[in-house]
C-alpha cells in the first residue's frame, strides 16, 4: 500500500470535512465541510473544484440521477439544486437543542441511513440512528451521543455502525430486501482515538477513519485490526473507495477544535487525502 498524500492542496481546507463519496457516473468526488456549511465537488482528472454554500451545517451529500443532490442539513434531509441553490425539505426532525444531523450513507439498495449527534460539552445519550422512509426519518435505534459512520459488507449481509462516544464499531445482520437490522454485537473496540466514518471494499476489508488517531484502521470481517493508514494530521473523519478500478481510498480530515499551535504542527489538517490500496 502506498503512502497517503494530500489530494489537492489548492482546495481550501475544511474545518470539519465529512461525508466523502465517489460518484461512479462522473468519476468525481463529493464531500462536505459541516462547520463551513459547504458542499465540495472535485474531478481528480481535470482537477476542477467547485463548492456551494448551504443555509445550515451540512453533513452528507449524494448526487442523484436527476442532477439534484440529496443532502443532510442540521435539521433534516433536503434536495439541493446546484444551479439555483434552492434547498427543498424531504424529511425534517424536531431535534433538541445542541443536536444536529450527522454522518449518513446509503445501503446497497439505495436507502439512506443517518445519525444524529449531541454536540453539548457533556452530551447525554439522546442521539439516534435513523432511516429515511419516503418523507420521514424513522428512528431505528436510540441511546447514542454520536451516531456516526455506517457501511455494509460487499454481500450486503452485514451493516456496520460507528458509535463514536463509546469508541466502538457495532455490526448487525442486515436484511437488504427489507432494510432491517438485527443481532447487534461489538465488531471492534478502538483503543486510541474514536471511530468516525466507515467504508468497506470488495476484498473483505473495513476502513475506519479514526478521529484523534492520525490514521485509518483496516479491519478484517472478523473484527481484527490488520493494518492502518497513517496520516500527517490528527483527525480523520470519513473515507470512501473510488478512483479507477475502485483502488483508491479518499479520506476527509478536520481542524475543528485544534489550537493555532496544533494546526502549525499539522498544517494539512482539513485537507482530503488519498492512498492507493493493495489488491
Q: Which residues are catalytic?
A: 196
Contact 152, 158 (CB under 8 A): yes
Quickly count: other Cβ atoms within 10 Å of residue 230's Cβ: 11
CA 57, 207, 266, 48 dihedral sign is: negative
188 CB contacts (<8 Å, ≥6 apart)? 168, 169, 195, 208, 217, 219, 223, 224, 225
DSSP string, 156-194: S-EEEEEEGGGTEEEEEEEETTTTEEEEEEEEEE-SSSE
Q: How far apart are CA 59 and CA 133, in angstroms?
A: 19
Q: Are 54 and 80 in contact (CB under 8 A)?
A: yes
Distance, in Å, from the CA atom of 221 to the CA atom of 219, rounded to the nearest integer, reads 7
Largest CA distance in the chain: 50
Query: CA 127 to CA 187: how far, in whole Å?
Result: 21
- 3-class DSSP state for residue 61? strand
H-type alpha helices, the chain? 260-265
Q: By the 8 A CB rule, do 21 and 240 touch?
A: yes
Distance between CA atoms of residues 189 and 192, nearest Å: 9
> Which cell goes with 18?
465529512
Amino acid at each position: 500500500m502506498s503512502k497517503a498524500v494530500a489530494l489537492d492542496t489548492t482546495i481550501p481546507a475544511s474545518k470539519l470535512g465529512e461525508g466523502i463519496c465517489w460518484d461512479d457516473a462522473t468519476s468525481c468526488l463529493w464531500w462536505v465541510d459541516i462547520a463551513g456549511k459547504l458542499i465540495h465537488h472535485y474531478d481528480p482528472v481535470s482537477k476542477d473544484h467547485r463548492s456551494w454554500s448551504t443555509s445550515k451545517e451540512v453533513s452528507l451529500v449524494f448526487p442523484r440521477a436527476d442532477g439534484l443532490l440529496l443532502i443532510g442539513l442540521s435539521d433534516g434531509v433536503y434536495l439541493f439544486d446546484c444551479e439555483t441553490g434552492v434547498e427543498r425539505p424531504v424529511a425534517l426532525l424536531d431535534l433538541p437543542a445542541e443536536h444536529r444531523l450527522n454522518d449518513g450513507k446509503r445501503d446497497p439498495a439505495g436507502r439512506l441511513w443517518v445519525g444524529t449527534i449531541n454536540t453539548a460539552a457533556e452530551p447525554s445519550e439522546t442521539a439516534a440512528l435513523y432511516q429515511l422512509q419516503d418523507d420521514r426519518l424513522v428512528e431505528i435505534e436510540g441511546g447514542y451521543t454520536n451516531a456516526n459512520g455506517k457501511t455494509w459488507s460487499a454481500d450486503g449481509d452485514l451493516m456496520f455502525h460507528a458509535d463514536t462516544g463509546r469508541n466502538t464499531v457495532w455490526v448487525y445482520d442486515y436484511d437488504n430486501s427489507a432494510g432491517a437490522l438485527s443481532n447487534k454485537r461489538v465488531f471492534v473496540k478502538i483503543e486510541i482515538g474514536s471511530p468516525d466514518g466507515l467504508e468497506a471494499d470488495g476484498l473483505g476489508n473495513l476502513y475506519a477513519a479514526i478521529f484523534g488517531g492520525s490514521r485509518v484502521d483496516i479491519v478484517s470481517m472478523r473484527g481484527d485490526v490488520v493494518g492502518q493508514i497513517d496520516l500527517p494530521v490528527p483527525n480523520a473523519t470519513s473515507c470512501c473507495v473510488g478512483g479507477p478500478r475502485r483502488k483508491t481510498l479518499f479520506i476527509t480530515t478536520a481542524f475543528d477544535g485544534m489550537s493555532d499551535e496544533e494546526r502549525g504542527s499539522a498544517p494539512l489538517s482539513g485537507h482530503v487525502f488519498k492512498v492507493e490500496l493493495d489488491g
